[in-house]
C-alpha cells in the first residue's frame, strides 16, 4: 500500500497511476493465493523459505544494479544508488542467509531447480537493460517483499526460529523503497517522453517476476 503522501512526491502521478494500480492488484492477488502457514506441512513451510532465499539472496542486488545501469535520469540514479548502498552496507544477503539457517531452510539443489526456469526468464528480461520496465519490476518486487514479510516470519516461527532481523528490516524499509522507486519511474518516464514503451511491455517485468514468485510460494 502506498501512503497518501505519495502524491506529494510525484507531481505527475497520473502517468504512473495505472502501473501502480496494476502492481497493487498483482501483489494482492499473490498474497490472497497464499495458504495459511499452520495448514502447511513442515516440509512445505521449509520449501517456501528455501525457495525465497534461493531467489532473493543472490539476485536482488544484481537486479537492482540492472535498474541502475539501465536508468538514465539523475533522479532515478540517486534513488537506486541509495537503495543499493543500503543493501550492501547493511549486508541484506547475509541477513537473509541467517534467517534461512535459523529456520533450517537453507536452499538445496532441489529448491534451486524448482525456481530455475522462471528465474532464468527474469534474468533474460533484465539482460535487455530496458529502464522503465525494470524499474516497474523492482517497484513491484519491493512492494511484494514488504507485504510478504509477516507471512515469511510466521513460516519461520512455526519452523521453530526466533530470528527476525531480515523480516523486521524489510517490513519497514521497503515501504520507503517502493515509494522512492515510483519516483524513479516517474523521472525515467519523463525522460523517455517521446519513446515510451507501450503499456504492455512496461509491465512485462512484473509478469515474469510474478511467475517466479508463484514458484516460490506454491506448495
Ligand atoms: Fe534488502
Helix axes of 74-89 and 165-191: crossing angle, nearest 10 degrees: 160
87 Cα–ligand 1 center, Å: 5
Look at residue 186 and tell me if it is in a domain.
Answer: yes
The pLDDT of residue 172? 78
Instruction: Render pLDDT for 188-210 as a digit per residue (tens, 0 to 9).
Output: 998 877 666 777 789 999 999 99
Look at residue 70 and tell me if it is in a domain.
Answer: yes
Look at residue 33 and tell me if it is in a domain.
Answer: no
Look at residue 14 and tell me if it is in a domain.
Answer: no
Look at residue 125 and tell me if it is in a domain.
Answer: yes
What's the structural domain count of the chain? 1
Look at residue 22 and tell me if it is in a domain.
Answer: no
127 Cα–ligand 1 center, Å: 21
DSSP assignment letter at 40: S
The pLDDT of residue 215? 98
The pLDDT of residue 15? 77
198 Cα–ligand 1 center, Å: 30
The domain in which residue 176 lies consists of 38-217
- Flag residues of the chain having pLDDT under 50: 1-11
Look at residue 63 and tell me if it is in a domain.
Answer: yes
202 Cα–ligand 1 center, Å: 24
C-alpha cell of residue 206 = 512484473
Q: What is the CATH number of the domain that holds 126?
A: 1.20.910.10
96 Cα–ligand 1 center, Å: 8
168 Cα–ligand 1 center, Å: 11
193 Cα–ligand 1 center, Å: 31
Look at residue 129 and tell me if it is in a domain.
Answer: yes
The pLDDT of residue 147? 95
177 Cα–ligand 1 center, Å: 10
8 Cα–ligand 1 center, Å: 25
The pLDDT of residue 122? 98
Amino acid at each position: 500500500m502506498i501512503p497518501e503522501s505519495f502524491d506529494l512526491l510525484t507531481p505527475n502521478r497520473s502517468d504512473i497511476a495505472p502501473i501502480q494500480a496494476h502492481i497493487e492488484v498483482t501483489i494482492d492477488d499473490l498474497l490472497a493465493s497464499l495458504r495459511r502457514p499452520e495448514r502447511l506441512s513442515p516440509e512445505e513451510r521449509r520449501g517456501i523459505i528455501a525457495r525465497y532465499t534461493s531467489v532473493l539472496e543472490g539476485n536482488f542486488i544484481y537486479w537492482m544494479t540492472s535498474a541502475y545501469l539501465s536508468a538514465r535520469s539523475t533522479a532515478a540514479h540517486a534513488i537506486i544508488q541509495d537503495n543499493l548502498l543500503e543493501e550492501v552496507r547493511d549486508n541484506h544477503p547475509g541477513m537473509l542467509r541467517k534467517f534461512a539457517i535459523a529456520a533450517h531452510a537453507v536452499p538445496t539443489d532441489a529448491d534451486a531447480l524448482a525456481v530455475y526456469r522462471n528465474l532464468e526468464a527474469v534474468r533474460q528480461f533484465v539482460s535487455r537493460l530496458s529502464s522503465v520496465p525494470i524499474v516497474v519490476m523492482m517497484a513491484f518486487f519491493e512492494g511484494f517483499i514488504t507485504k510478504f514479510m509477516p507471512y515469511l516470519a510466521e513460516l519461520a516461527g512455526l519452523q521453530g526460529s526466533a530470528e527476525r532481523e531480515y523480516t523486521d528490516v524489510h517490513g519497514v524499509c521497503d515501504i520507503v523503497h517502493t515509494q522512492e522507486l515510483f519516483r524513479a519511474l516517474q523521472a525515467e518516464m519523463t525522460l523517455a517522453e517521446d519513446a515510451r514503451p507501450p503499456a504492455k511491455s512496461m509491465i512485462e517485468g512484473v509478469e515474469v517476476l510474478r511467475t517466479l514468485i508463484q514458484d516460490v510460494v506454491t506448495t
